[in-house]
Amino acid sequence: MRTIILGAGVVGMQIADQLISEGKDVVIIEKDPERAKYVMGRLDCIVLNEEGTNISTFRRAGMDDASIFISVTNSDEVNMIACGIVASEFNVPVKIARVRNLGYSDTKITGKAFLGIDYMVNSEVETARQIANTIALGADSDVMLFENTDLQLRNIVVSDTSFFANKTVKDIRQKIKEPFLFAAVVRGKNFITPTGDTVVEENDNIYLLATRKDFTRIFIQAGKKQETIDRILIVGGGRIGSLACQYLIRTGRKITIIESNYERCKVLSDTFKDALVLNADISDESIFEEESLGRHDLIVTVTDNQELNMLASLYAKILGIRRSIALVTNSGYLSIASRLDIDVTISPKNSTVDAIMKFIRRGKIRSLHSIFDGKAEVIEFLADEKSGLVGKLLKNLEFPRNSLILSVVRNEKNILPHGNLSIEPGDMVITIAEKSSIAEIERFIQA
């Protein structure tokens, strides 16, 4: 199966990296010579330094044999036109375009009838949805949700004073009485599938699986207090901030928006009659005192400046705002932000990649989440009679290394896996795996 990706930006490069690690045949088209050279040195695939809207370029890329075409350049128009050319000249089953213009996303052109595009993904919409979902669940950690179950996967960065620090997984499970599964440990550049003897260390990023109700009690036992979120401060009234406000204001919460551009403030005031809109610069620390911003329960920083987002979130917590969400665009900053006193970091890149990867793997796969900067995935899929998992005891299953079955959902009941459990047709199975194991897991799913 050949996948051709137009655009070697951060999104295109991460999608390519994930597919290559799974043994997929990937070709990248990138018109910028410096960027093309950079990608050639880092990915094991063909990179064509050419324009991406030429039929001859598509032929050289092997479009006649392609199964998937993904256009993720910085231009909406190029992405849509490229998909149109591919649809008219080649028989490629799946064509995906990233669009940033909300006008395109809001219309009914997102069907296959428009330029042959099978799926349009909008980074801002995906990011705003993730922010709203995270707030609905307490905004105390990153949250991954699954279909037809109340299970959640959450992460905790372990500090030196954390309940989890310097304990084995076995000790932690004995001290926390609620049912949960220790899904993974990310330590530096390493992804660890934990055993009972794994020792949790300071600065580890640990992932736990439990229901929302059980997480509330787990966090209490671990010393992490749950907070009520009623008053929300949104810093940045751009497209993501505006969309997030649109989702949140429906919940009846009190919303304050801070935006430095006066004309944009007027638009926001007209759009959100029930929100308080302030024309101010969040980098001016006096604004916190003058407007009594410390009385808010949560700050959401979504400006175009990721450093400002991180600093404003940290400063707000010093002044008494109990929860913080920061928009971070650079992958290198995500690991830094996770070790600061920022409760949740949101990445538009990761939101977009997850949406595209879920569409690519659609069918039996119900949800997909990338973690560890795309180096691992959490996959929820439907087991049927043809699945390689069905009818076998888990203890006899030759599951890929660095992968784990986290849960089985059967008749709307969550079953924590054990050696004598056998997967049945109709079960929803949740797995976590390092990217090198994804291709083998896909064979289990599709067998």
Q: Give the pair of three-digit tokens for residue 444.
A: 């289990």
Please spell the DSSP secondary structure of 43-100, one letter per residue: -SSEEE-S-TT-HHHHHHTTGGGEEEEEE--S-HHHHHHHHHHHHHHS--SEEEEE--
Task: Please give the residue that has the higher pLDDT: either 252 or 150.
Answer: 252
The per-residue pLDDT for 108 is 46
- Protein fold of 2-121: Rossmann fold (3.40.50)
Return the structure tokens found at 57.
């370029």
pLDDT of residue 446: 65
pLDDT at residue 106 is higher than 70: no
Write down the pLDDT at residue 243: 93
Chain Cα centroid distance, residue 130: 8
Angle, alpha carbons 261-263-268 (nearest 5°):
90
- 223 — pLDDT class (breaks 50, 70, 90): confident
Q: Look at residue 112 in the predicted model and tell me its pLDDT.
A: 44
Domains 2-121 and 356-446 share a fold: no
Q: Which phi and psi (to 5°) does residue 139 adopt? A: 55, 35
Question: pLDDT value at position 152?
Answer: 87
Residue 407, classified by CB atoms within 10 Å of its CB into exposed (0-12), middle (13-18) or buried (19+), is buried
- What is the C-alpha to C-alpha distance for residues 350 and 354, in angstroms, rounded to an integer? 6
Are 234 and 256 spatial neighbours (Cβ–Cβ below 8 Å)?
Answer: yes
Going by pLDDT thresholds of 50, 70 and 90, the confidence category of residue 97 is very high
pTM across the whole model: 0.75
Q: Tell me: the pLDDT tens digits for 290-319?
A: 888 989 999 999 999 999 999 999 999 898
pLDDT tens digits, 377-390: 888 888 888 777 88
Q: How far apart are CA 444 and CA 435, in angstroms?
A: 15
- Alpha-carbon separation of residue 245 from 236, 257, 273, 321 (angstroms): 10, 8, 11, 18
- By mean pLDDT, which of 183-187, 240-244, 334-338 is the weakest? 334-338
Is the pLDDT reported for residue 110 higher than 50? no
CATH of domain 356-446: 3.30.70.1450
Whole-number mean pLDDT of the chain? 87
Pairing mode, strands 413-415 and 298-301: unpaired
pLDDT per residue as tens digits for the range 68-77: 999 999 999 9
Phi/psi of residue 248, each to 5°? -80, -35
Q: Which residue's entry shows tokens 């997102």?
A: 110
Helix pair 239-249, 123-136: axis angle to 10 deg: 40
Query: 127-134+227-350 adopts what CATH topology?
Result: Rossmann fold (3.40.50)
pLDDT at 89 over 80: yes
The length of the chain in residues reads: 447
Domain boundary assignment for the chain: 2-121, 127-134+227-350, 356-446
Answer for the pair 116, 93: CB distance below 8 angstroms, yes or no: no
